[in-house]
Amino acid sequence: MFHAKKPSTMNSHDRPMCVQGDSGLVLTTDPKPRLRWTVELHERFVDAVTQLGGPDKATPKTIMRVMGVKGLTLYHLKSHLQKFRLGKQPHKEFNDHSVKDGDRATSLELQRNSASSSGMIGRNMNEMQMEVQRRLHEQLEVQRHLQLRIEAQGKYMQTILEKACQTLGGEENMSLPTRTFKGIGNHQGGLTPDISAAFKEFGTPPLTFSSFQDLNICGEHIDLHAQSSMGERSSSFDGFMNLSNTSTDHNLSLGKKRSSPYNTSNGKSPFMWSDDFRLHELGGGGSCLGSNNEDDHQIIQMERSCNPEIDSVSDMYESKPLLQDEKKFDTKPERPSPRRAAQVSSLSAQGGRNSVFG
């Protein structure tokens, strides 16, 4: 039935068996012209299917829309999609049990499909190469998105904590450097000694639980100043936010003096993406942390600036020291590709067990 729709593509023979239509479709020249699924066409097909979320999610209609190939009809797509789906099924057994996916056509599958559909077997190596590239690219994308999402969660967490600190701490406009948890500590619902003890274990309050906000992964800079007007508000973050505002504060020395590497003996810090990575102390970590009295707070601050060794004992989120010239926190670091590559390589080097390459 479909051949009736394509009278224009019945050109004179260029090749013995197939003709090239003006839409780019290759048709056979049998009495009943059938569509030839060439490798290119098939690739576009696979691309479209992947885009739509896999062969199970894609429908011929949507594929047609996405592919945007003139002359391709629903019938072509229906049958090809069915073959594609069936073609994938037996392969599920061959795959690693940890690597099952409807989207991802392995090179083997591609080979099968293209071999059966188009009869051109010779392009396998190329396909495999492209497949690997495609996979790699996708993984990088996933990684980037993951970081952004974790950051978003961190931001949201901050709003919760802000609210809570406000409720707990009341409105007091004290000078920023001396802002502490005093107000909160006095409050009925405030921090218990339990909590302050718990958080002290994590060392530097500004770094603690600031999650990915502080980690300028891929150079995305979350502008904490813009995001929250905490600098003015009387929340308990102020003391810590202050760290980011002043560049000459002794608190900054926290980062510089920290000379010990990550505590890998403890198992990894969850926020270590790569060894090259700098933790920017943007201060306003998302938490009402620290001690619940003024003295302790200041003592902690002083301790740290004087005693670099303390950091290594209990810090969880340690990093290599900031370079001396990286005092300013407003700079947007670039997103150099070597860094990205370093991240990826270190990520994959971090262990075969969770290797992103399956």
For residues 282-301, which are near another protein according to CB under 8 A?
286-288
In whole angstroms, the minimum distance from the beta carbon of 295 to another protein comes to: 20
In whole angstroms, the minimum distance from the beta carbon of 104 to another protein comes to: 5
Q: Which amino acid, 222?
A: I
- Contact criterion met (CB below 8 Å) for 341 and 285: no
Instruction: State the number of binding residues for another protein (CB under 8 A).
Output: 81
Q: Sheet containing 26-28: which strands, arranged edge to edge?
A: 18-20, 26-28, 35-36
In whole angstroms, the minimum distance from the beta carbon of 245 to another protein comes to: 21
In whole angstroms, the minimum distance from the beta carbon of 72 to another protein comes to: 16
In whole angstroms, the minimum distance from the beta carbon of 22 to another protein comes to: 28
Compare residues 66 and 176 and give the one whose CB is closer to another protein.
Answer: 66
Q: Beta partners for 279?
A: 215
Query: Token pair 């999610």 is at which residue?
Result: 57
Nearest Cα to 288, choosing from 225, 352, 234, 251?
234
Q: Does 262 bind another protein (CB under 8 A)?
A: no
In whole angstroms, the minimum distance from the beta carbon of 88 to another protein comes to: 11
Segment contacting another protein by CB under 8 A, of 20-28, 149-157, 239-247, 318-326: 149-157
- Residues 8-47, one symbol each (x = binds another protein by CB under 8 A, - = not), give ----------------------------------------
Residue 26, helix vs strand vs coil: strand
Q: Which of 190, 205, 239, 255 binds another protein (CB under 8 A)?
A: 190
Compare residues 163 and 250 and give the one whose CB is closer to another protein.
Answer: 163
In whole angstroms, the minimum distance from the beta carbon of 311 to another protein comes to: 13
Q: Which of 3, 24, 47, 52 binds another protein (CB under 8 A)?
A: 52
- Contact criterion met (CB below 8 Å) for 322 and 259: no
Q: State the Cα–Cα distance between residues 208 and 218, nearest whole angstrom.
A: 20
Helix axes 74-88, 60-67, angle to 10 degrees: 110
- Between the CA of residue 249 and those of 218, 305, 351, what are the distances in Å? 27, 10, 39
Segment contacting another protein by CB under 8 A, of 110-118, 171-179, 327-335, 347-355: 347-355
Q: Which of 5, 57, 70, 332 binds another protein (CB under 8 A)?
A: 57
In whole angstroms, the minimum distance from the beta carbon of 272 to another protein comes to: 8
Compare residues 119 and 358 and give the one whose CB is closer to another protein.
Answer: 358
Q: What is the DSSP letter of 142?
A: H
Q: Which of 155, 225, 320, 340 binds another protein (CB under 8 A)?
A: 155
Nearest Cα to 315, choosing from 275, 271, 250?
271
Q: State the Cα–Cα distance between residues 92 and 99, nearest whole angstrom.
A: 9
Compare residues 46 and 252 and give the one whose CB is closer to another protein.
Answer: 46
* 75-104 residues near another protein, rule: CB under 8 A: 78, 81-82, 97-104
Q: Which two tokens stand for residue 104?
A: 């991802």
Q: Which two tokens stand for residue 49?
A: 């299917």
Burial of 51 (0-12, 13-18, 19+ CB in 10 A): middle
Residue 47, H or E segment: helix 39-51
Q: What is the DSSP letter of 323?
A: P
Q: Which of 8, 167, 247, 345 binds another protein (CB under 8 A)?
A: 167
Query: Token pair 């002083």 is at which residue?
Result: 302
In whole angstroms, the minimum distance from the beta carbon of 332 to another protein comes to: 17
Compare residues 29 and 260 and give the one whose CB is closer to another protein.
Answer: 260
φ and ψ of 338, to 5 deg = -60, -35
Q: Which of 209, 237, 240, 329 binds another protein (CB under 8 A)?
A: 209
